[in-house]
Amino acid sequence: MRESFDVAIVGGGPAGISAACVLAEKGVRTIVFERGEYAGAKNMFGGVLYGHDLARIIPDFAERKCPVERNIVESRIWYLSREAGFNLAYRDQAFFDQLRNNVFTVGRAKFDRWFADQARARGALVVCSTVVTDLMKDDAGKVCGVVADRPQGELKARVVILADGINSPLAGKTGFRPEPRPEHVALAVKELIDLPEETINARFQVEADHGVTTEILGETTRGMNGVAFLYTNRSSISLGIGANLAALSQRRVRPYELLEEFKKHPMVAPLIQDGKPREYLAHWLAEGGYDTMPHLCGDGYVIAGDSAMMFNALHREGSNLAMASGQMAAMAVYDALNKGDVTRKGLEGYRDLLKDSYVLKDLKKYRRFPSFLDSHDELFSTLPRLKCMAAREMLTVNGVTKKEKQGRIWKKIRKEMSLKSLFRLVWDGWRSVR
């Protein structure tokens, strides 16, 4: 640990390993510190990844046996009341062939371990079971290395890349990023449910290796700003639900209670019937958006991925932003090292790269979306209930004329939501995504 490196990376997730792959391939002496027993040990659950950003780092990832669970060929959006719901689905032949692996599911424990092996193969040193507890600084206040929780744990580095997630142990101690406020964070609970591969294929109407993702809004979060999801893996289903941390605290709702209620919903229960729970975990999501991001670089360091609050709440994208930001952080650091200027000014190229990419453009475009969700609880309570009521009324054949049914529906809507409230909802929603 007395040895010095060009770059020290804190965190062995998608952002950190992406940076390590790029730097190591360019011959930069790079070390990665991962607090888990192995990369992915703290991410035992499944999720979705995006082929475009992974391919920019490892173009032949499929040939290198990336542990893909299922190639996603259909995306669904559900809008649910307590007892009913709407289902909007999109399936495209392009995702079967020319756009294969545009989105795919993985088990993060397997994927992160595989990804770390790719970085090692390129020359990076990945040190696991090690927590970085502090940052070293020189007399001028410039970051010049890290302090790890092991004997003689000080390690010098010309640049440090911080990529240890939203609940970074370093954030509060070093102040490189403010501690996230509860209203800017969602707490999600997840469960992995084992089912035979053939059962999943039949229930989701797919063939082997193909899968479906489902994103869910509505009353499932008891009126709180939150979402749920359901993803298909090869022989399991990833099921989860989360809500704003501040709302959970104020209402004293236990997240696992939301999950158990969600599993009993009539649109969910048939899909997981006879499944066997295998894993359970909870984690934070950085949902504050563009306006909660810290400054992305300083003297001797840059911040990437969840550590930088990079999460697209509308499109539920995080891992791709992490990989893209990790790659761009590496490119900027490499340029700064070659120029011999690793001060904040010398590392500003990182932000320039992000500004020219989809990462900051998308985050900036949707910067109002988190506050839109926070200010419109009716999206998670009144509105899904009224929409499902209207559908039930119109689909029930009971001898009542359609005109009379429409009158009943409109009367109930006006009783619970004024025209002014409806107009404000539509107007605020449009402004948040335009």
The string of DSSP codes covering 353-396 is HHHTSHHHHHHHHTTTHHHHHHT-GGGGTHHHHHHHHHHHHHH-
Residue 105 near residue 98, CB atoms below 8 Å: no
Distances (CA, A) of 375 to 141, 144, 263, 315, 425: 41, 43, 27, 19, 9
User: Can you give the length of the chain in residues?
Assistant: 434
- The answer to whether the beta carbons of residues 145 and 154 sit under 8 Å apart is yes
Q: Are 80 and 230 in contact (CB under 8 A)?
A: no
SS3 state of residue 89: strand
DSSP 34-61: -SSSSTTTT--SEEEEEHHHHHHH-TTT
- The 10 Å CB-count burial string (b at 16+, else e) for 226-238 is bbbbbbbbbebbb
Tokens of 198: 């053939």
pLDDT digits (tens, 9 = 90+) for 111-149: 999 999 999 999 999 999 999 999 999 999 999 999 998
Give the C-alpha separation, 18 to 99, whole Å. Answer: 22
Q: What is the pLDDT of residue 47?
A: 85
Q: What is the pLDDT of residue 346?
A: 97
Determine the residue type at 411. Answer: K
Structure tokens at 19: 């940076």
Q: How far apart are CA 324 and CA 270, in angstroms?
A: 37
Q: Residue 236: what pLDDT?
A: 95
Q: Tell me how far apart the alpha carbons of residues 309 and 370 are, in angstroms, rounded to a whole number.
A: 13
pLDDT on residue 45 = 59
Cα(first)–Cα(last) distance of the chain, in Å? Answer: 50
- The pLDDT of residue 36 is 83
Tell me the two tokens of residue 119. Answer: 């970085």
Beta-bridge partner residues of 337: none
Query: For residues 235, 236, 237 and 239, what is the CA-based torsion angle, rounded to 10 degrees?
Result: -170
Give pTM, 2 decimals: 0.94
Closest Cα to residue 143, out of 299, 20, 13, 38? 299
Q: Which two tokens stand for residue 78?
A: 């559900």
Please give the single-letter amino acid code of residue 284: W
Token look-up 């990419």 returns 357
Nearest to 238 by CA among 41, 44, 39: 44
Q: What is the pLDDT of residue 46?
A: 67
SS3 156: strand
What's the pLDDT at 177? 82
State the Cα–Cα distance between residues 311 and 290, nearest whole angstrom: 8
63: Cβ contacts below 8 Å, ≥ 6 apart = none
Separation CA 190–CA 242 (nearest Å): 9
The pLDDT averaged over each successive group of 10 residues in the chain (434 residues) is: 85 95 97 87 75 96 96 97 96 95 93 96 95 93 92 92 87 79 92 96 96 96 94 96 93 93 97 94 88 93 94 91 97 98 96 96 95 93 95 95 95 91 93 92
The DSSP element (H or E) to which 108 belongs, if any, is: helix 108-121
φ, ψ dihedrals at 399, nearest 5°: 85, -5
Query: What pLDDT does residue 82 have?
Result: 94
For residue 227, which of 213, 215, 245, 237 has the smallest C-alpha distance?
215
pLDDT digits 0-9 by tens, 369-406: 999 999 999 999 999 999 999 999 999 999 999 999 99
